[in-house]
Amino acid sequence: MQLAGSGVIPAGEYNEKISISGSGRIQGNVRCTALSVAGSASAQGSVWCEEDMKASGSARMEHSLHAKNVHVSGSCHVGEDCTAEETIKAAGSFRCGGNVRCHTLRAAGNMQASSVEAEDVKISGGIDCAGLLNAERIEIRIERASSRVGSIGGSDIKIYSEGAVGKIVRMPLLAKMLGGGMGGVDVAESIEGDTIAIERVSAPLVVGRIVAVGADCCVDLVQYSETIEIHPDAKVGRYEKIGG
């Protein structure tokens, strides 16, 4: 199915690729081999792709999106859950009204989701995640102060901003874990992981084996089992060693 210019694609199952060049509207739920959008497209239902969904411009699904890989350049809005069997790559604005599930997530710009579950997450820009952000590896380079996350869980967690290299240099452990890095993120509940390196983060609780709390952080309680480092400019209510 190919659409060039402006038109409508009926709901149903398509055994091949759907290509939209220009402006297209999908009426209801569709299942296809792959979906390619150059311009703008809106789906009044859910979209299921056996292979990849690629959009350059604007893509909007009122309900859910499922694909092997999701690649978006511009803006993408998914009303409910967004699931990729492998990778989600989004440059620009990526908004999901439900949960995001994938193996690898790469988002540059602004991202919004109810929760995120992945193995490897790298976000550059801002994130608004009301629930749990959970992954083995999490790296967030924050570039605006209004980012919010309900809670964060993982093995290797790094949250940093772009303007604090000078402050990081004075802290060997933080410098080693982050490597360098303006913005901030508010965590409503907790950050829990194995190795945690953060700056410009506000959170009630941080729990980890190795924890480095950088400049401009505000944490009520830090619990660590092996090593802790706290920047002089960080505000930590108290810290305690846990475990054996």
Helix (H) or strand (E) run with residue 168 in it: helix 165-169
- Within a domain: residue 170? yes
Domain that holds residue 192: 119-244
- Within a domain: residue 239? yes
Residue 166 has what pLDDT? Answer: 39
Helix (H) or strand (E) run with residue 125 in it: strand 120-142
- Within a domain: residue 34? no
Q: How many CA atoms lie within 13 Å of 116's alpha carbon, on the beta-carbon side?
A: 35
- Within a domain: residue 71? no
- Within a domain: residue 197? yes
How many whole angstroms separate alpha carbon 63 and alpha carbon 42? 11
Q: Is 131 exposed, middle or buried (0-12, 13-18, 19+ CB in 10 A)?
A: middle
Whole-model pTM: value is 0.88
- Within a domain: residue 151? yes
Please state the φ and ψ torsions of residue 176, each to the nearest 5 degrees.
-65, -40
Cβ(51)–Cβ(31) under 8 Å?
no
Residue 184 has what pLDDT? Answer: 84
Joined tokens for residue 74: 């511009």
Residue 165 has what pLDDT? Answer: 42
- Within a domain: residue 140? yes
Query: What's the total number of domains in the chain?
Result: 1
Query: Phi/psi class of residue 230: alpha, beta or left (left: φ > 0; alpha: ψ in -120 to 50)?
Result: beta
- Within a domain: residue 72? no
pLDDT in tens, the chain (244 residues): 676 667 788 899 998 899 988 888 899 899 999 999 998 999 999 999 999 999 998 999 999 999 999 999 999 999 999 999 999 999 999 999 999 999 999 999 899 999 999 999 999 988 999 999 999 999 998 876 578 999 999 999 999 886 544 344 445 566 556 654 456 899 999 999 999 999 999 999 999 999 999 988 999 999 999 999 999 989 999 999 998 5
